[in-house]
Chains A and B, each alone.
Chain A
Amino acid sequence: MTDTENIVSRYVQRRVMLLSAILLGLMFAVTAALARSYHAREEGLVQEWFDKGNADLAAGKPSQAFEDFRNSLSYGPENPPVQLRLAEALLAAGRLTEARSYLVNLWDRAPGSGEVNLDLAHASMPTGDVDQTIRYFRGAIFGSWDQAPALRRRQVRLELCDFLLLHHMTKEAETEIAGLGADTPADNGFLREENGRLFLRAGEPAKALAEFEAALHTNPRQSQWLTDAAQVAFEDGDYLKAETYFSRADRENPSPDLQSSLDLVRAVLGNDPRLAGLSEEEQARRTLRDFEQGLDRVRKCNRTGAANSPVEQLPPDLQRLAKDAEDLQKRVNLSALNRDPELRNDVMQLVSQIEEVASRVCGPPSGLDQALLLIEQRRQGNNP
């Protein structure tokens, strides 16, 4: 190549390289604009399909929702909220294997996600793997939550308690409920009430009552909580508390049911001769009243039974009790009862037997008879 050609060639190269630089700049601008518009469109599509999926899921169309979420993911694969919703759609559609597969993938990347753990717990429940399910529930309780973490953890714990109770794992359930109680803010009566109901389901009425009372501290006039507390106290045999709460509930929100419960509690309290603090005289008076009621009950029951079938076919217990009552009647009077605590005890035992047998033979008791049955059950420690 001659010098002249060399110079010309270098000049051409320089010109071409300059031109390339300008072209690169132009192409960069075009590509950037194109990429920006495409990314915007992609983001729009991710959201559009996500919203549609949510709507379909809410409308009870999980299969359609699954397709929507898949579409959304095709424009933004690394999108955990969409992936999670897709798994939830699969769960809702009953496609558990696929749902589990999605969720396990999500779990691999975010083992501490509360939502993923909860969904995995839901996916594991139908498999019957109780231990695995509990592990995922616990993972959800101790996992991270983006929104309202305290509330979500509480909901999960409630769900776990449900699950445990359903599988008769009462001890584990009690532990969870206790944890729930510890985490519950003292000023939230509704949550306290929820705890109380769980304790009731776990067979812990005393703890349940404590939760209802804690709820009432936040709002002493909440009629439902008053009713709940009264009911638990009643079932636990604490008729004094039951009477207090039933009467307050009836004041706040009067109803025939409440009134009848209140009447029953008052009947128990007004006729139980063993209530603490009663004088000997009062105990005797109450025992006599109860005996007369028992005698009346056995007679009526005998009469009703005899009207329906021959006397010899009446249960032997009832006949014997009727005879015992008739015999005892001769010895029972106010002064004898006042003097003899043993007699009071015998009388009340007979009365309770009468009420028990009569309730079996002649139907459920009402009024004072029902109160007498409760009094005896309380004495035996068998609260309703």
Chain B
Amino acid sequence: MSEPKIPVEEAQAPAPKVETAPAAANESSLRWLGARARSFTLSEGNLFLLLAIVIGMFSGMAVVCFRITIEWVRLGLLGSALAPPPLRVLLAPAGAGLVVAFLVQKVFRAARGSGVNQTKAAVYVFDGYVPFRTVIGKFLTCSIAIGGGQSLGPEDPSLQMGAGIASALGRRLKLSRDKLRLLAPVGAAAGLAAAFNAPISAVLFVIEEVIGTWSASALGAIVLAAVSSAVVMRSFLGGEPMFRVPAYTLSQPAELLAYAVLGVVSGILSLAFTKIIAYFRPKLRALPEWTYYFQPAAAGLLIGFIGLRIPQSMGTGYPYIDEALHSQYTWEILAILGFAKILTTSLSFVSGTPGGMFAPVLFIGAMIGGAIGGLEHHFFPQVSASVAPFALVGMGTFFAGFLRVPITSVFMVVETSGSYSIVLPVMISNTIAYLISRKYQEGALFDILAKQDDLELPSMEEQREQIVLRVEDAMRKPDLPPLQASDTVTRALEIAESSTEEILLVRFPTGRWAGIAKKDMPALAAAHPKDTQLREVLSTARLPILHPDQRLDDALRFIQGHPLLPVVGRAGSRKLEGVLSLPDILTAYQRAT
């Protein structure tokens, strides 16, 4: 591939320059600086939290400007009608594609793509470095593309813009490399929270897809950034949930079967959508580089042709999701809209037009969900509810199947709709879609895209799936019962002769454990009378103890310097469950691989 998706020239730029103290700073100026600095003394941890709030505020406002700019561009290019005039429908997406392609190829090479993988790359490859130029590029190119009618959304770009803003601030503040690396997800959560008006989902998505773990060091900052960003966004654009949803109640348990069917269909379709993108994207990227200038325009023209008949398939499609949620379409129309959106979004995305996948995925999910609901209602009116709740559940289901973030998808539906009563059908349907997608598609979409871009980013899904080895998987039974603290040195010598272990474990009544190396036994016997109790000999010795459910990774940290460790139950540390040595751990890891 001639052009890497993460722009090497920008993203792999040398680590940011560190501002050095003025060479001519003399002692007096340092005293002055010291006095000034004392009035602002925050530890790095606290500064990090404060920074998270500032990042959230910046990101929130950036996303507000971004969304408004998209709308202005749309009004300018397509007009204010939901069904724009035919000439505009044909020309606007193509024209926008041409301009965007030029900007991406000539000015903002890092603006290509959705933004999720780019943010992950910033965390795992570039030490949290996201060039600020990328933020500007993403803002401009996505505004033009989405406003011009390309079938993409503003959420993933918002995520990357948030990460870019965070990275820029962190660099200016000369934070440590570790903190800088953590800042990108903090900004990402802020950007996504503002774009979705859903801080919980944003936090979950970043944890589920970007950092992969519930890291205590990052969680506080991520939550603060997401909340402050959502608050800022709401103060400008209003606090209503993203989607207005009619009241829903589960009338009978059999209704859940209908949602299970939705899960199956959404799972299959999300799988097909993933495969379409995974297949065509590298094909188009393999074409000569000069075609990159025209691919978004060609995609735009095709989208325009589709838009002549189905204008709903252009742009983000949020107004139409709202209509579907209010049962404004028949199931046949909903099905057509869903398939048309799969087509237009595939065209936009594989052509390299910058923009996100979240909004189109929600659109497709809502339409497919509504269509399934309408169809079921047609044949089994007594079992299935009206179209609206199916459209709502469909959004989460397709999201779970396509992006493979099952927890985020559940919370996203609840949070963006403000409807808690829908959670049960969402959980059932999402799980089915997720399992189908996982069964028949090896990697999640973002992992596939990363691989296509020659990036070895950690797969969060794989990490979640990894088998965690625990102490109980490696421990073994001791060949002999442990010595007691009341046993004598003579008794210890007898046991040592019959034991195959290099270390003899000694149990104290208090639950303390100690060890005596067999090789030290002769010296011990020589130094003490034979009837001396071991508690006197080992008055200060103490061995770390392990529990069977502890991760083997953790055990590795304790085993350092101890050939053998006791494994005791959590109910009482006097009962020996087993013993663990370094060779036991290595054997367990070998077995697991």
- Alpha-carbon distance A36/B38, docked complex (angstroms): 41
Query: Separation in Å of the B225 CB from the closest CB of chain A?
Result: 14
Give the nearest-CB partner of B41 in chain A.
A10
- Alpha-carbon distance A87/B47, docked complex (angstroms): 55
Query: Separation in Å of the B458 CB from the closest CB of chain A?
Result: 31
- Which residues of the partner chain A approach B240 to less than 8 Å between Cβ atoms? 78
Query: Separation in Å of the A135 CB from the closest CB of chain B?
Result: 20
Contact of B30 among A7, A13, A67, A108 (CB under 8 A): A7
- Alpha-carbon distance A12/B58, docked complex (angstroms): 20
Q: In residues 201-251 of chain B, which contact A (Cβ within 8 Å)?
A: 236-237, 240, 244, 246-247
Of listed A24, A74, A102, residue having the most chain B CB within 10 A: A74
Task: Assess whether A319 is interfacial by the CB under 8 Å rule.
Answer: no
Task: Assess whether B36 is interfacial by the CB under 8 Å rule.
Answer: yes
Q: In residues 1-19 of chain A, which contact B (Cβ within 8 Å)?
A: 4-5, 7-14, 16-17, 19
A9 touching B174 in the complex, CB below 8 Å, given contacts A70-B82, A98-B328, A101-B327? yes
A74 touching B82 by the CB < 8 A rule? yes
- Alpha-carbon distance A49/B319, docked complex (angstroms): 15
B33 touching A7 by the CB < 8 A rule? yes
- Which residues of the partner chain A approach B236 to less than 8 Å between Cβ atoms? 31-32, 35
A24 touching B322 by the CB < 8 A rule? no
Query: Separation in Å of the B354 CB from the closest CB of chain A?
Result: 21
A11 touching B328 by the CB < 8 A rule? no
- Alpha-carbon distance A6/B25, docked complex (angstroms): 14
A5 touching B21 by the CB < 8 A rule? yes
A105 touching B327 in the complex, CB below 8 Å, given contacts A74-B319, A77-B322? yes
Query: Separation in Å of the A91 CB from the closest CB of chain B?
Result: 15
- Which residues of the partner chain A approach B587 to less than 8 Å between Cβ atoms? none
- Which residues of the partner chain B approach A71 to less than 8 Å between Cβ atoms? 80-82
- Alpha-carbon distance A71/B84, docked complex (angstroms): 10
- Which residues of the partner chain B approach A74 to less than 8 Å between Cβ atoms? 82, 319
Number of A interface residues at 8 Å Cβ cutoff, please give it: 41
- Which residues of the partner chain A approach B246 to less than 8 Å between Cβ atoms? 105, 108
Range for the number of chain B residues in contact with chain A:
35 or more
Contact of A38 among B25, B68, B81, B319 (CB under 8 A): B68
Q: In residues 13-28 of chain B, which contact A (Cβ within 8 Å)?
A: 19, 21, 25
Of listed A4, A17, A48, A78, residue having the most chain B CB within 10 A: A17
Task: Assess whether A221 is interfacial by the CB under 8 Å rule.
Answer: no
A78 touching B244 in the complex, CB below 8 Å, given contacts A12-B174, A31-B61? yes
Give the nearest-CB partner of B19 in chain A.
A12
Contact of B169 among A20, A45, A102 (CB under 8 A): A20
- Alpha-carbon distance A16/B55, docked complex (angstroms): 13
B37 touching A14 by the CB < 8 A rule? yes
Task: Assess whether A27 is interfacial by the CB under 8 Å rule.
Answer: yes
Query: Separation in Å of the A61 CB from the closest CB of chain B?
Result: 15
Task: Assess whether A275 is interfacial by the CB under 8 Å rule.
Answer: no
Give the nearest-CB partner of B63 in chain A.
A31
Task: Assess whether B288 is interfacial by the CB under 8 Å rule.
Answer: no
A102 touching B173 in the complex, CB below 8 Å, given contacts A8-B21, A14-B36, A78-B244? no
Task: Assess whether B423 is interfacial by the CB under 8 Å rule.
Answer: no
Task: Assess whether B42 is interfacial by the CB under 8 Å rule.
Answer: yes
Give the nearest-CB partner of A23 in chain B.
B58
Task: Assess whether A34 is interfacial by the CB under 8 Å rule.
Answer: yes
- Which residues of the partner chain B approach A11 to less than 8 Å between Cβ atoms? 33, 36-37
Query: Separation in Å of the A365 CB from the closest CB of chain B?
Result: 63
A7 touching B64 by the CB < 8 A rule? no
- Which residues of the partner chain A approach B244 to less than 8 Å between Cβ atoms? 77-78
A7 touching B37 in the complex, CB below 8 Å, given contacts A13-B174, A16-B172, A71-B82? yes
Task: Assess whether A217 is interfacial by the CB under 8 Å rule.
Answer: no
- Alpha-carbon distance A67/B33, docked complex (angstroms): 66
Query: Separation in Å of the B512 CB from the closest CB of chain A?
Result: 40
A67 touching B81 in the complex, CB below 8 Å, given contacts A16-B172, A20-B54, A101-B327? yes
In the A-B complex, the 10 residue pairs with the closest CB atoms: A10-B37, A14-B40, A74-B319, A35-B236, A8-B21, A31-B61, A7-B34, A38-B68, A11-B33, A11-B37
Interface residues of B (CB under 8 A from A): 19, 21, 25, 30, 33-34, 36-42, 47, 50, 54, 57-58, 61-62, 64-65, 68, 71-72, 75, 80-83, 169, 172-174, 236-237, 240, 244, 246-247, 319, 322-323, 326-328
